Amino acid sequence: MDIRLSAEDEAFRQMVRTWLEGALTEDLRDSARKRTSLWQDIDTAMAWQRILHQQGWAAPDWPEAYGGTGWTIIQRYIFAQECIRAETPALIPMSLKMCGPMLIGHGTDEQKAHYLPRILSGEDIWCQGYSEPGAGSDLASLRTMAVGDGDDYIVTGTKIWTSYAQHANMMFALVRTSTEGKQQEGISFLLIDMTSPGITVKPIINMAGAHELNQVFFDDVRVPKANRVGPENGGWTVAKYLLQFERFSMGSIEIHRTLDKVAKLARITPVGAATLADDPAFAASLSQLRTANQALEATEQRVMASLSAGHSPGPASSFVNILSAETAQRADELGVEACGYFAAPWQPEALEPGVNRAPVGPEIAVPLVPTCLSNRMKTIAGGSSEVQRNIVAKAILGL
Ligand SMILES: Cc1cc2nc3c(=O)[nH]c(=O)nc-3n(C[C@H](O)[C@H](O)[C@H](O)COP(=O)(O)OP(=O)(O)OC[C@H]3O[C@@H](n4cnc5c(N)ncnc54)[C@H](O)[C@@H]3O)c2cc1C
């Protein structure tokens, strides 16, 4: 098997590399290096998205007709790799990776024409209103009510764990429009303007001290019926379709980044007369994780190939999610091990963009502990690993 890239793909790689070198400012790189969670700080994420959008590269996975790049699967993979190499900032997934593909699959022509360009440009920032207190894994038991009133619904209830709701001007949400019959058959999918009267956003601070999560309250909020995606009481199908995209992310890219940092740190961490990188047990752990991540990457590429052929990710996105969440957590733990005693100082100020005070210990070590803490959520958010295993058992193994 010849796994070398073709001359055209090598030329593509060079073109992307040159463009990234020119497009990334030192400020953007600095913020990207200091990111400690799934979410980049909003200013950096949106600044980078605008630059990508000007180039037509904000959503490489979307069909070309809606603003995608038309790249082949290999080209998209090369682009992802070059982004790791160049240390690009992360983009906000709720808009580009979830809402966009969901609208492309299930939105009306009007909804697509209105929202997709605004997602690409960053004019709209979306958050996800699925979970509620008492409705997480058992999502279908959600109770936020939407009652018809002429051309509108009146929405009342609450959503929780709503990532970046404090920055979003739009929410895609699941609401209950019927209490008859099966729970799944009484749910509708709405697009809600977050500036509507009656919406309150309250922060939830995570254990790394960051404000990424919120609880959102709806108190008689008017939402036009034209903002419904799919039929009334038919929102469950749309919700599940979107979840496949949420659960499928190129998690291996993040893990590559973490493992590269860990390897760099190990090369400068003294152990006796040598370095941690020379320690056979450490080197074996690092190699095992690199191998596991390559296996994950191959699985991701299979799902991407299926997407390129016009299919949705399907239940395979669940095992991609399990593998990427659990491998990421093992990589984070190795990162903390590599920090040694420099894992102890808690120094969030060293992660501020543009800070001019030297950190305690090597600079590369500073984000590793907060990243490890923040990534504990990876086996919960988007559906816990236990629930994903249930899906794999039923939908793939037929158990
Ligand atoms: C950082 C973070 C960001 C999030 N962002 C968003 C967001 O933007 N929007 C949004 O809508 N939601 C968001 N969520 C919510 C997330 O989707 C839920 O936390 C998740 O679905 C789990 O639901 P729960 O927290 O209610 O836990 P529960 O459902 O109460 O589960 C508790 C435990 O029981 C286990 N469990 C439950 N049912 C089963 C079962 N059938 N079989 C085996 N084990 C089971 C779970 O695995 C878990 O360990 C976020 C969560 C986190 C942690």
- Best residue among 38, 161, 211, 322 to mutate for probing ligand 1, ranked by most atoms within 8 Å of CB: 161
> How many angstroms is it from 9 CA to the middle of ligand 1?
41
Among candidate residues 315, 292, 299, 324, the one with its CA nearest the CA of residue 399: 315
C-alpha–C-alpha distance, residues 63 and 67, integer Å = 7
Give the pLDDT confidence of 159-182 residue by residue, as tens digits: 999 999 999 999 999 999 999 999
Q: Are 217 and 202 in contact (CB under 8 A)?
A: yes
Judge if the beta carbon of residue 388 lies within 6 A of ligand 1.
Answer: no
Residue 129 C-alpha to ligand 1 middle, in angstroms?
Answer: 13
Q: Are 351 and 344 in contact (CB under 8 A)?
A: no
CB 254 within 8 A of CB 321: no
40, 32 contact by CB (below 8 A): yes
Alpha-helical runs (H) found in the chain: 7-23, 26-33, 42-55, 73-86, 93, 100-106, 109-121, 235-247, 251-268, 280-308, 316-339, 368-374, 385-391
Specify the pLDDT at position 3: 54
- Report the pLDDT value the prediction gives residue 306, as an integer from 0 to 100: 79
Q: With a 6 A CB cut-off, is 235 part of the ligand 1 pocket? A: no
User: Which residue in this structure is represented by tokens 């959008």?
Assistant: 53
Pick out the chain residues at pLDDT < 50: 1
Alpha carbon of 320 to ligand 1 centroid (Å): 17
Nearest to 103 by CA among 249, 187, 228, 194: 228
Which domains are seen in the chain, by residue range?
A: 7-91 (no CATH), 125-239 (2.40.110.10), 248-396 (1.20.140.10)
Residue 267 CA to residue 276 CA, distance in Å, equals 6
Please tell me the distance between residue 233's alpha carbon and the centre of ligand 1 in angstroms.
23
377 lines ligand 1 (CB under 6 A): yes
Nearest CA owner, ligand 1 atom 2: 381
- Distance (Å) from CA 131 to ligand 1 centroid: 8
The CB of 128 under 6 Å from ligand 1? The reply is: yes
Q: Which atom of ligand 1 is nearest to the CA of 163?
A: 8
> Could you tell me if the CB of 387 is within 6 A of ligand 1?
yes
Query: Measured from the CB, is residue 136 less than 6 Å from ligand 1?
Result: yes
Whether the pTM exceeds 0.75: the reply is: yes
* Separation of CA 391 and ligand 1 centre (Å): 14
322 lines ligand 1 (CB under 6 A): no
**Other C-beta atoms within 10 Å of 294: how many?**
13
CA 376 to ligand 1 centroid distance, Å: 12
Residue 138 Cα to ligand 1 middle (Å): 8
3-state secondary structure of 128: strand
State the amino acid at position 327 in one-letter form: T
**Contact between residue 78 and residue 12 where contact means Cβ atoms under 8 Å apart:** yes
Q: Whose CA is nearest to atom 52 of ligand 1?
A: 381
Buried b / exposed e over 337-359, threshold 16 CB at 10 Å, is: bbbeebbeeeeeebbeeeeeeeb
Burial class (CB in 10 A: 0-12, 13-18, 19+), 18: exposed
Q: Yes or no: say if 179 and 141 are a contact pair by the CB < 8 Å rule.
A: no
Question: Ligand 1: distance of its center to the CA of 383 in Å?
Answer: 5
Ligand 1, pocket-test mutation among 171, 206, 387, most atoms within 8 A of CB: 387
